């Protein structure tokens, strides 16, 4: 009853607030005072006057209070549970029949199970994009799970969800699973809540023989054997022997037979010799047997780039040393390297002695022929503790200028390794060769005194990103590798690194002339070529530091392999890369071409202009784009025609070229969504484990992980308008009625 009289329930923690403007209250007070003065006129007894005016005063006070608009305001918190979301894979692979029923039949049962555990859920479905609601049909032509999870994070805009549930068969066609299959240790996507993955699909009576994957090593050399390795998967073909055929440009090259193991998997390796340079389209195929569920995946094309020859490396050393021996052994042991090595050299002064050639054990160093005629036949030139003056007496300026042009104009690669005859100690300061080194040299002898203190180089931030010093994929582990490296005996001293060079390793205590940490390993892109400066002559010790820990000599080998690959502009170490989520597309699909650009330190390069040239077997088109803050540009190309498509990308900043890259994809009638039919539970298990989530196999309905901290307190405000409370109206009416009654009893109107 009291709540009704007051116009609502009033709690003890509330506050009284006046809502009317001040002028309205003042006007009401003035009007009430005027009315009270007017009511005081007239002749009557003192008691009647006091009683009447008291009643009128109380009634007018009630009216003034009503005009002032009093409101009783209470705030209280309400606990609201965090939202739960289900992402359902709606791709065509979810419609594959298993024992007569599609995989998607399990979705409704899983959704019901999740609702029983967590209550209300929001449902989305995904293919290449994320969409609201449960799918009406399972026929989307792509599956990008990483893109769907990223889109969900953007949609909730930082809100912490109670749970994120994914229902899928694991046949993701996006970059996440592709990186997982290549064992690149991909980073798990960041999620707005704990992840629970429900797998669907249990292949039973499905028959499918397929060429699952092809590895060519990236490129091949003319007249040098290279391998094409194909992985064959056969559901229902375990233990059977099947023929595998290799073709080039439609013509059969060879055929092998492979016996599939208990899981229906097998590998076949073809040895191929290319006689010409260029790009060649190979294809691996298996027969289409009766009952094959997906005949379109029985063949897979691949494009191989054939280059002119093996990598030719010229190693010139001024004196024998352990460092020279280790590097020479590494280069000679690499079958892709053709090494020409000179050390323990005879100088022109030896010709002035009284000894004959037959009495000298050293051969004549053919420096004029090497650096005037044969220089351009080499891909990489290594100066290892080599001082040019004792050998280049007659044509030093000309020969060093040849080396400069070899790097800048002809795209060659130069490495200078430290020692008592290198850098400033080798009198390279002020020479043409100094112009292509990534470090500044001083001609003053006092500036070139080496620092002979033992030290362990520090890996810089650029070094952590750069392919030369990225010994392992994981950044934390890579840092640990470098921290375990053996100490160096000392280092050459250089003036500084060039402004556009990338410093990968530095001295922990010594500084250059500008006060920056002294560069130890520096790289630079110079004109069309590349150069590297390593100011120590004891990198061979890096093979011992890992061997002492029982890990072999991998640190040393990986460092020099990375260096050679970067100097040779291998596509995996390029500042500009281009990739597509898949190699094979169906006509009518959209192809996402992802271009990544990096600065010399391999940090993302935003705002770069991207030009894409697409060549589909003679039909060409041009597209343009611009890199985002992450250094990426995504250009969508509709797959309108079948055949091989070559993508050539050029990136520039303010008109200055950054680099180029190429990739190839094929458009066929092969449906990528049913290219595989066996669910990939291993991928889903990894995805759940990498995000500290849970994975439940097909047919099991396990617990849904939830985050209790996702619940939030929602503040609710409750207002009770006292100015319109029935009690106030009753009191005003009562007092005004009594006042009017007393006035009439006194004989007044």
What is the per-residue pLDDT for 437? 94
- The CA–CA distances, whole Å, from 391 to 91, 316, 371, 492 equal 69, 12, 12, 22
What is the per-residue pLDDT for 361? 44
Could you give the maximum distance between any two Cα atoms of the chain, in Å? 156
What are the DSSP E strand ranges found in 273-358?
278-285, 299-307, 311-317, 337-342
Q: Is the model's pLDDT at 360 over the cut of 50?
A: no
pLDDT higher at 327 or 58? 327
Most confident option among 97-101, 222-226, 549-553, 621-625: 621-625
What is the per-residue pLDDT for 588? 76
Cβ atoms within 10 Å of 116's Cβ, excluding its own: 10
> Which tokens is 367 given?
């420096």
* pLDDT band at 309; cut points 50, 70, 90: low
% of the chain at pLDDT higher than 70: 87
Tell me the Ramachandran region of residue 368: left when phi exceeds 0, alpha when psi lies from -120 to 50, beta otherwise. Answer: alpha
- What is the tens place of the pLDDT at every residue in 665-688? 877 666 666 677 778 898 999 999
What is the per-residue pLDDT for 122? 92
Q: Is the model's pLDDT at 571 over the cut of 70?
A: no
Lowest mean pLDDT among 440-444, 666-670, 711-715: 711-715
* Mean pLDDT on 219-225: 72
* Mean pLDDT on 346-363: 52
Cβ atoms within 10 Å of 412's Cβ, excluding its own: 26
Cβ atoms within 10 Å of 745's Cβ, excluding its own: 12
Most confident option among 48-52, 235-239, 479-483, 738-742: 479-483
pLDDT higher at 645 or 697? 697
pTM of the complete model beyond 0.75: no
What is the per-residue pLDDT for 223? 65
* pLDDT band at 546; cut points 50, 70, 90: low
* Mean pLDDT on 91-103: 82
- Residues facing residue 272 across a β-bridge: 226
* Mean pLDDT on 551-563: 82
* Mean pLDDT on 323-329: 91
From the list 125, 149, 129, the residue with the least C-alpha distance to 138 is 125
Lowest mean pLDDT among 176-180, 294-298, 477-481: 294-298
* pLDDT band at 249; cut points 50, 70, 90: low
**Domains of the chain (ranges plus CATH)?**
2-78+716-745 (no CATH), 82-200+680-710 (3.40.50.410), 208-301 (2.60.40.10), 311-572 (3.40.50.880), 575-674 (2.60.40.1930)
* Mean pLDDT on 605-625: 88
Q: What are phi and psi of 417, to 5 degrees?
A: -105, 145
Lowest mean pLDDT among 78-92, 110-124, 320-334, 336-350: 336-350
């Amino acid at each position: 009853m009291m709540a009704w009289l007051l116009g609502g329930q009033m709690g003890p923690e509330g506050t009284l607030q006046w809502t009317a403007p001040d002028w309205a209250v003042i006007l009401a007070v003035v009007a009430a005072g005027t009315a009270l003065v007017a009511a005081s006129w007239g002749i009557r007894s003192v008691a009647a006057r006091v009683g009447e005016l008291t009643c009128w005063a109380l009634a007018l006070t009630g009216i003034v209070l009503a005009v002032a608009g009093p409101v009783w305001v209470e705030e209280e918190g309400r606990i609201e549970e965090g939202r739960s979301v289900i992402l359902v894979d709606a791709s065509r692979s979810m419609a594959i029949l298993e024992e007569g029923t599609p995989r998607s039949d399990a979705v409704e049962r899983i959704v019901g199970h999740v609702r029983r555990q967590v209550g209300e859920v929001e449902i989305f479905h995904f293919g290449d994009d994320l969409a609201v609601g449960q799918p009406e049909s399972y026929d989307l032509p792509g599956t990008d799970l990483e893109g769907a999870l990223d889109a969900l994070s953007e949609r909730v805009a930082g809100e912490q969800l109670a749970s994120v549930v994914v229902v899928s068969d694991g046949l993701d066609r996006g970059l996440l699973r592709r990186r997982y299959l290549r064992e690149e240790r991909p980073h798990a996507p960041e999620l707005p809540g704990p992840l629970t993955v429900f797998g669907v699909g249990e292949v039973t009576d499905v028959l499918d023989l397929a060429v699952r994957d092809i590895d060519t090593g990236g490129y091949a050399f003319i007249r040098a054997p290279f391998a094409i390795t194909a992985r064959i998967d056969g559901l229902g073909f375990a233990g059977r022997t099947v023929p595998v055929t290799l073709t080039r440009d439609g013509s059969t090259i060879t055929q092998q037979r492979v016996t599939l193991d208990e899981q229906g998997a097998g590998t076949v390796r073809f040895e191929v010799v290319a006689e010409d340079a260029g790009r060649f389209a190979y294809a691996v195929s298996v027969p289409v047997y009766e009952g094959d569920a997906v005949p379109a995946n029985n063949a897979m094309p691949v494009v191989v780039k054939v280059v002119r020859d093996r990598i030719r490396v010229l190693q010139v050393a001024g004196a024998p040393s352990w460092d020279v021996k280790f590097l020479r052994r590494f280069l000679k042991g690499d079958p892709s390297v053709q090494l020409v090595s000179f050390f323990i050299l005879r100088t022109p002064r030896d010709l002035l002695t009284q000894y004959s050639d037959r009495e000298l054990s050293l051969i004549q160093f053919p420096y004029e022929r090497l650096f005037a005629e044969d220089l351009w036949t080499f891909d990489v030139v290594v100066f290892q503790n080599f001082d040019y003056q004792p050998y280049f007496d007659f044509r030093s300026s000309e020969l060093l200028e040849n080396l400069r042009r070899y790097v800048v104009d002809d795209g060659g690669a130069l490495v200078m390794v430290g020692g008592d005859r290198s850098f400033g100690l080798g009198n390279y300061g002020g020479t043409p060769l100094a112009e292509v080194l990534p470090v500044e040299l001083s001609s003053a002898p006092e500036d070139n005194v080496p620092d002979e203190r033992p030290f362990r180089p520090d890996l810089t931030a650029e070094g952590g990103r750069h392919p030369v010093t990225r010994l392992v994929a994981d950044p934390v582990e890579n840092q640990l590798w470098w921290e375990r490296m053996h100490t160096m005996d000392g280092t050459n001293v250089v003036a500084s690194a060039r402004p556009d060079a990338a410093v990968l390793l530095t001295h922990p205590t010594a500084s250059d002339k500008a006060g920056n940490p002294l560069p130890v390993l520096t790289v630079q892109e110079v004109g069309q070529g590349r150069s590297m400066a390593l100011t120590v002559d004891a990198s061979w010790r890096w093979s011992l530091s890992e061997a002492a820990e029982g890990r072999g000599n991998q640190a040393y080998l990986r460092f020099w392999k990375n260096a050679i690959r970067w100097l040779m502009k291998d596509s995996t170490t390029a500042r500009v890369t281009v990739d597509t989520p898949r190699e094979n597309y169906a006509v009518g699909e959209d192809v996402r071409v992802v271009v990544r650009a990096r600065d010399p330190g391999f940090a993302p390069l935003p705002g770069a202009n991207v030009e894409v040239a697409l060549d589909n077997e003679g039909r060409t088109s041009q597209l343009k784009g611009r890199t985002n803050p992450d250094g990426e540009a995504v250009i969508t190309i509709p797959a309108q025609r079948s055949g091989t498509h070559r993508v050539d990308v050029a990136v520039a900043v303010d008109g200055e070229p950054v680099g180029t890259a190429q990739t190839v994809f094929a458009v066929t009638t092969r449906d990528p969504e049913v290219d595989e039919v066996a669910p990939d539970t291993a991928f889903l298990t990894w995805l759940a484990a990498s995000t500290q989530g849970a994975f439940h196999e097909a047919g099991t309905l396990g617990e849904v992980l939830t985050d209790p901290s996702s619940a939030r307190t929602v503040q609710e405000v409750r207002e009770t308008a006292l100015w319109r409370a029935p009690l106030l109206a009753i009191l005003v009416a009562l007092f005004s009625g009594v006042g009017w009654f007393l006035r009439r009893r006194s004989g007044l109107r």
